[in-house]
Each structure stands twice: as C-alpha cells, then as structure tokens.
Chain A
Amino acid sequence: MEITWIRAALTLLVGFGLMMSLAAGMSLVERKLSAFIQERHGPNRVGPFGLLQPMADLIKFVFKEEYVPNSVNPLIYKLAPAIAAVPAMMTFAAIPFGFLDGQPLVIANINIGVLYVLAVGSLGIYGIILGGWSSNNKYSLLGGLRASAQMVSYEISLVLSLVAVIAVSGSLNMSEVVAAQDHHWNVFLQPVACLIFLVTMFAETNRHPFDFAECEPELVGGFHTEYAGMRFALFFLGEYIAMVVMSGLMAALFFGGCDVPFLDIADTPWWLGALAMLGKTAFFLLLFVWVRWTLPRFRYDQLMWLGWRVLLPLSLANLAITGLVLALLGPEGGHA
C-alpha cells in the first residue's frame, strides 16, 4: 500500500517536472530558434547561452503587479487564465513515455485515454473565450470569438483523424495504441490522418499560421490584451503545455511513441524508449517554431475554408476508406 502511494507521488513529481521543463525549455528554444531563423542572437545574457532565461522570465512575471482593469468582470477575469492552463496540464497525464517491465510509463493509464485527452483538451478553449469576454474590450472579444469558431471547426477534423487511428489500433488506451505500433507506425498506415492531425494541431493550439486569437497586427494582443503578470504567464504556459501535449500525442499516436526503429518494444530498454519518445516530441515542438517563421498567417475566411471544405471532407473520406479496408481485411485487420 505504502509503496503504491510513493510510486504514485513519484510518478506525479517526475511527470509534472517533465511537463514544466519541456514547456519552459520550449519557451527558450522558440526564442533561440526564432533568432537563428532571423539571423539574430536571441536571449544570451542570463546564464551560459541564455539558458537561464526561462527562470528570469518567471521571476519577472511573479514580481509584476497584478493589475485588474476597472472595466472587467473580476471573477471571470481572474479565473480565465487558470481555465486556460489547467486542462492543458491535465491532458499531459495520459501521454505514455514507454514501458518499464511491461508497465506503461504514464501518469494515468486510462482505459479510454484517447477520449480523455480529446474531452479535456477541448476545455482549453474556455480560457480563451472567457478571457476575451471578461476583459470587456472589443479586441479581446474578437480574439475570443475567432478562437471559439476556429477551435470548434478544427476539433471535428482532429477527432475524425484520431477515430481512424483508433480503428486501426483497436484500442482507446494510449499505451495499447503505442504497443500496437511495434514495427509499423501509424504514420505509414494512416498518412492522411497524420497530415490532418498535423494541420489541426496548429489550429487547436492557436499557433502560427492559425493564431487568430492573438494576431497582433489586427487585434493588438487578442484575448490577452488586458492581462499582465502571472495571469498572462498562465495563458502563456497553457499554450506551451498544449504544444507539448499535441507534440506528444503526435509522437505517441502516429510515430510509434517509445518504439525505436528496428527494435521490438519489448526488447527496448526503458530509458531508450523514453528517450525516443522525448526525441520525437522535441522534433514536433521544433516543427511548431519552424512553421511559425516559414508560413505567413492565413486570412480568416481562408482558415474556415480550409477547415470545412478541405480538412473535414478529407478526414471523413479517410475514415470511410479506413473502415472499408478494415472490413475487407476481416476482424484481424489493422495491425495483424
């Protein structure tokens, strides 16, 4: 009994630390990589190569004044950043990092893990909507409106692409989806679903080229125009953790998770598997930055056009074809 508690506490501690360090590291890497792409130096004052910059940022956020503008709805205004950050953190719990003695290395090994991630992940939008509405500012409100329409539109394609993956893997448990990908990753079985997920993950995290919720040339700061200090930092943290989670989902559901190419999952040492998973996640995190400085921002009607007239039919067709092929292959289809 006691060992279970200690184990649970340790898992939580390690998982939380991993999530926070990934998010903080991402904030530094993004600035460094942006600087590299634009031939600047980026942060290089705090610590060697600017490595301590996230700490400095955190200290700055903590000591800033918690200013609440007069015109806002105080309760919702204060609640919104937490609503933005907490669901993102909760989804991280279901991402598996490998197997240790046959037990999945995951904070919460949920039987319906994929559904859990989708359900909790769809809550992050409330932080943006409520932040935008409670700020009582037209730019914030527009940012919130845009975000709600965008995220609802793209969530459909996201879910449908994952349904195809679930159909191929035959399980809703994230660890089992990873285990089913031994030697044949879902990206080869479901390339279209992978592509759809790739596009929708940018829209769901409100990142460039779909960052209409903040879109500085049009909306000042969008939904967080009225926010400063730690509350702004929570929005920021939520966005970065959402990026980490989306990259982790991409790695686990499409790129084999802890599977190292040419090795059986069962034969892989646990640290190698976890390292592989981390490496894949890091790659997609870098992709976020790479895309940000490569593609121009879409126009809003183009975004809706892409979501409803391209991604939605594509994901539906993909799902239909997947179902047809699985039916033709018989009950032992998919990974068999």
Chain B
Amino acid sequence: MATALFYLFGAGALFSAANVVFRRQAVPAAIWLVTCFFFLAGEFLLLGFPFLAAIQIMVYVGAIMVLFLFVIMLLDLQAHQPIQSQFRHSIGGALALVLVALAFVAASGGQALEAENQPAAPEISALVEALFTRYLLPFEVTSVVLVAAIVGALTLGRSPGGSDHPAKS
C-alpha cells in the first residue's frame, strides 16, 4: 500500500513538475505547480509528517501560489510572451542535468534503510518543544526576516510618487 502510494505521489509530482516546464501559458503552468505541491504533501504524509504536509498546503498552495496567480493575471502573460524562443537550446542542457541527477542518485546509493523499521515520527509537541528550545535562535531570526520581507514588499508596492496611493477609508 505504502509502496503503491509512494509511486503514485512520486510519479504525480514529477509529471506535474514536467508539465510546469512545458506549458506555454503561465496559468496552467502555475496550476501544475500546485498539483506538484499536492503530491509532495502526499509524500510528506507518507513519510509520517502530517504537520509538515498541512503547512506545505497552507503556505505553498494557499498563499504562495495564489500570489503567483495574482501576479500572472495582473501581468496577463500569455498576451505578449514569446517565451518558447530559446527553449530548444536548453534541451541539451536538460539532458545533461538529468545525468547529474542520476549521478546524485548513484552517489547516495548503498545505504538501504527501510521506513518500516523506523520508529514513528515525532509528535507535534516534540516539534514545538524543539522549536522553542534548540531552534529558538533560527526561529527569532526568521521573524526578523519576515519583518524585513514585509517592509520590503511595502516599499516595493508603494508607487514612486506616493500620490496615486488610494486614500484610506
């Protein structure tokens, strides 16, 4: 069962990812990316990390990709995009990259660990405890990064003169 699901999710993720590359229109590409994230969330579930799967769907699918779609629709990409022009040149590069991937896989071989023998994944409480003890510093730094991101996005989103900013209320 787990094996079948692994192949299903893995093949689904790779198929969707390939489709992201090959779609001409931006919106279908974004939708395939969303599907890919879903399959990856499935892999996380399969590995025994339901919390991470939920976060993956919430943040990636629920927020980041909505932002992507928003920008794509604002820019109306398919109207003026000869995006495929240099694509043929990159097929050779892609093949080379696939070889690199195979090398990665080969290099990682030799330590066949089975998931069935592993103890259950840690509970959320263990995760949270680690977050506020061992990972306290990265956690705080992340909050600083997020504040910086908010300020940055605000600065970028503000129109240069500030005059055509919509008046509040």
A–B contact (CB under 8 angstroms): yes
Which residues of A pack against B, CB within 8 Å?
73, 76, 111-112, 115-116, 118-120, 122-123, 125-126, 129-130, 132-134, 141, 144-145, 148-149, 151-152, 155, 159, 172, 301-302, 305, 309
A residues near B28, Cβ cutoff 8 Å: 73, 76
Q: Which of B33-74 touch A at CB < 8 Å?
A: 34, 50-51, 54-55, 57-58, 61-63, 66-67, 69-70, 73-74
| B73/A141 in contact, CB under 8 A | yes
B167 touches A119 (CB 8 A): no
A116→B61 contact, CB < 8 A: no
A301 to B28, CA, bound (A): 30
**A149 to B70, Cβ gap below 8 A?**
yes
A119 touches B66 (CB 8 A): no
Shortest distance from the beta carbon of A242 to any chain B beta carbon, whole Å: 14
| Bound: A123/B66 CA distance, A | 9
Q: Say whether B17 faces chain A, with CB atoms less than 8 Å apart.
A: no
24 A-B pairs, CB-CB below 8 angstroms? A73-B27, A76-B27, A76-B31, A111-B124, A112-B50, A112-B124, A115-B54, A118-B54, A118-B62, A119-B54, A119-B58, A119-B62, A122-B62, A123-B57, A125-B62, A129-B70, A129-B73, A133-B69, A133-B73, A134-B27, A144-B73, A151-B66, A152-B67, A172-B124
B interface residue numbers (CB < 8 A to A): 27-28, 31, 34, 50-51, 54-55, 57-58, 61-63, 66-67, 69-70, 73-74, 124, 166-169
- Contacts A144-B73, A145-B73; A133 near B27 (Cβ below 8 A): yes
Is B50 in contact with A126, judged by CB distance below 8 angstroms?
no
| Candidates A73, A126, A155, A305; contact of B63 at CB < 8 Å | A155
Q: How far is the CB of B138 from chain A (nearest CB, A)?
A: 19
Distance between Cα atoms of A133 and B68 in the complex (Å): 13
| Extra A-B contacts (14), CB below 8 Å, given A115-B58, A148-B69, A149-B70 | A73-B28, A111-B124, A112-B54, A118-B58, A118-B62, A119-B55, A119-B57, A129-B69, A132-B73, A134-B27, A145-B73, A152-B70, A302-B169, A309-B168
Closest Cβ of chain A to B38, distance in Å, is 9
- Tell me whether A123 and B168 are in contact (CB under 8 A): no
Given A112-B51, A122-B58, A148 and B70 contact (CB-CB distance below 8 Å): yes
A73: chain B residues at CB < 8 Å are: 27-28
Query: Which of B34, B50, B74, B167 is within 8 Å of A301, CB to CB?
Result: B167
| A155 in contact with B62 (CB, 8 Å) | yes
Write out the residue numbers on chain A whose beta carbons fall within 8 Å of the beta carbon of B67: 152
**Beta-carbon nearest neighbor of A159 in chain B:** B58
- Distance in angstroms between the alpha carbons of A148 and B30 in the assembled complex: 14
- Chain B residues with CB under 8 Å of A145's CB are 70, 73-74
Q: Which of B66, B124, B167, B169 has the most CB of A within 10 A?
A: B66
**Once the chains bind, are B61 and A123 in contact (CB under 8 Å)?**
yes
A122 to B57, CA, bound (A): 8
Which residue of chain A has the shortest Cβ distance to B70 in the bound complex? A148
Residue on A nearest B62 in the bound complex, by CB: A122
Residue contact B58 to A152, C-beta cutoff 8 Å: no
- A13 to chain B: closest CB distance in Å? 25
B134 CB to closest chain A CB (Å) equals 19
For B124, what are the chain A residues with a Cβ–Cβ distance below 8 Å?
A: 111-112, 172
Chain A residue at minimal CB-CB distance from B56: A119
